[in-house]
Amino acid sequence: MGDKQSTADKRFINPPISYWIASTPGTNYPALQEDLKVDVAIVGGGMVGITSAYLLSQEGLKVAVLEADQILLGTSAHTTAKLTSQHGLIYAQLQKKLGQEKIKQYAEANESALRFVAKLVEEQQIDCDFSWQPAYIYTESDDYVQKIEDEVKAASELGIKASFEKKLELPIQIRGAVRFDQQAQFHSRKYLLALAQKIVDKGGSLFEQTRVVDLGGEGEGPYTVTTAAGNKVTATHVIMAAHYPFNFFPGLYFTRIYTERAYAVVAKAQEKFPGGIYINAEEPARSLRSLPTTEGERILIVGEKHKTGQGENLRKHYEDLMDFAEQLFTVEDFPYRWSAQDCTSLDDIPYIGRMSARSPNLYVATGFRKWGMTNSTVSGLLLRDLIVKGESPWEEVYDPSRMTTVSSATQFLVQNADVAANLISGKLKSVPEKVEVETSEGKVEKKEGQRVGVFKDEQGRLHTVDTTCAHLGCELHWNNAEHSWDCPCHGSRYTVDGEILEGPTVKPLKVL
């Protein structure tokens, strides 16, 4: 254990960095500097935004993507990059809740999204490390064997090539596994950067460093999107593809989704990875896949989820994944590590479609529950159909205004009670008048009655910010794994200097 700990400690010398970002060139699209009129304005330059813009530009529509930072640096660049309709043990569970017809829509949508990406990669000859792989959900516990068998049955009835397996090529003794054939993996950012260029080639516009702060318009529109710089984009249709919708109305989405973080490490191992993509059924989550790089094959291991802004020593999540890797393989190095944030809906099905019946040309895509590669593609296909044709074969199951089930109503109460508890406890929690801060450490102190977040950098400089979230006023928590201030209520995250890392907030913190 001592050797493992020292290996892990050595890996924390450098800050977290996503392999997907490190292995691709940066972008330099212009910021919006004037008012604009388009057919479709897309807020957010991640996988949903880029896929939607690509598809709509192919239809001859004038599109503009508005990205607060640079495109494809958010969750789309911190993914596992599995292209699969296997989203945990979901089909047997949702079959009981939603019925066969709706869950068939979900399965067909995600299988279609997988085939769409595969066909596009082949036809356009996109170099993105695409490869077909079998996908497995395995269990080491007898408690999950029946659930695995139920999943095989449910998936097979939906037309997915599923089978029950008793053995894996991985060095893990399992009690059973469900296998989906003809699934895939790829390099998500290479793929999406290629689509971004095709948007521009078709006359579409990509704007970076263009944060949207307001959305106006009623009924069928047109709608007006306003940026932080004061520029306005008028559009017949608007797609809210910003991962977490920043606007309160319509839909009150901040009451209907919650955020979680998960962690990833890349291992350089002596052993060859056997192929396939894997995830376990039980907690804590452990997901594995191969990672082809220019330096040779690596192994990507993901897991360790928790609610954003909650937990203490978050760095331990990286250490736990490193320990897991070293139990399975002879690890020589951990060259990359990163974390990701995901939104989950109340019933585990994403919200994709019209934001509300009153605003039929205003659309949303969120709540992918860590399965964004196919669901983001589903979003692009579904939203294109709604805009161009007025309907989609999958719109019912994903409908953001769908009827509330008993289970989702319970989740509504649980998640919003958690928000209220964190809001109140954050205000009532006692903090010291003065704190001693070590290098690379963040703490909260009280100064003149105000909560102040203090961080000391490597040069010994102090960075102080108001720790009240600019979104809805919750008190932020220090994240020692990413060196950020995180909101436990709705998932907004900020740098040590108060700049926005993730929404739904559209305002930075006050620097003190």
Architecture of domain 404-512: 3-layer Sandwich (2.102)
Q: What is the pLDDT of residue 263?
A: 97
The pLDDT confidence band at residue 15, using thresholds 50, 70 and 90, is confident
Q: What is the pLDDT of residue 8?
A: 46
Q: Which two tokens stand for residue 470?
A: 């600019």
Res 417 pLDDT > 50: yes
Domain-wise residue ranges, the chain: 31-79+189-256+348-403, 404-512
Pairing of strands 63-66, 36-43: parallel
Res 364 pLDDT > 60: yes
Q: What is the pLDDT of residues 326-346, one digit of tens each?
A: 999 999 999 999 999 999 998
- Length reported for the chain: 512
Question: Once rounded to an integer, what is the mean pLDDT over residues 72-94?
Answer: 96
Q: Is 195 in contact with 299 (CB distance < 8 Å)?
A: no
Looking up tokens 């640079």 gives 70
Q: What is the pLDDT of residue 9?
A: 62
Q: What angle do CA 482, 488, 490 make, to 5 degrees?
A: 105
Q: What is the pLDDT of residue 6?
A: 45
Count CA within 13 A, CB hemisphere, residue 318. 27
Going across the sheet that includes 484-486, the strands are 477-479, 484-486, 493-494, 500-502
Res 433 pLDDT > 90: no
Res 354 pLDDT > 70: yes
Query: Can you tell me the distance from the alpha carbon of 333 to that of 338, in angstroms, rounded to the nearest whole number?
Result: 15
Q: What angle do CA 258, 466, 427 make, to 5 degrees?
A: 60
Q: What is the pLDDT of residue 323?
A: 95
The pLDDT confidence band at residue 7, using thresholds 50, 70 and 90, is very low
Res 254 pLDDT > 80: no
The pLDDT confidence band at residue 73, using thresholds 50, 70 and 90, is very high
Res 350 pLDDT > 80: yes
Q: What is the pLDDT of residue 312?
A: 83
Question: Once rounded to an integer, what is the mean pLDDT over residues 135-162?
Answer: 97
Predicted structure pTM score:
0.92
Q: Could you tell me which of 89, 82, 135 has the C-alpha nearest to residue 282? A: 89
Q: Which two tokens stand for residue 445?
A: 């102190």
Percent of the chain with pLDDT over 90: 79
CATH number of 31-79+189-256+348-403: 3.50.50.60
Domain 404-512 in the same topology as domain 31-79+189-256+348-403 = no
Query: Can you tell me the distance from the alpha carbon of 19 to that of 41, in angstroms, rounded to the nearest whole number?
Result: 30
Res 255 pLDDT > 80: no
Query: Can you tell me the distance from the alpha carbon of 223 to that of 216, in angstroms, rounded to the nearest whole number?
Result: 6
Element spanning 303, H or E: strand 296-307
DSSP 131-167: EEEEEEEEESSGGGHHHHHHHHHHHHHTT--EEEES-
Q: What is the pLDDT of residues 184-216, one digit of tens each?
A: 999 999 999 999 999 999 999 999 999 999 999
Q: What is the pLDDT of residue 5?
A: 46
Q: What is the pLDDT of residues 397-415, one digit of tens each?
A: 999 988 665 556 677 666 6
Q: What is the pLDDT of residues 106-133, one digit of tens each?
A: 999 999 999 999 999 999 999 999 999 9
Res 246 pLDDT > 80: yes
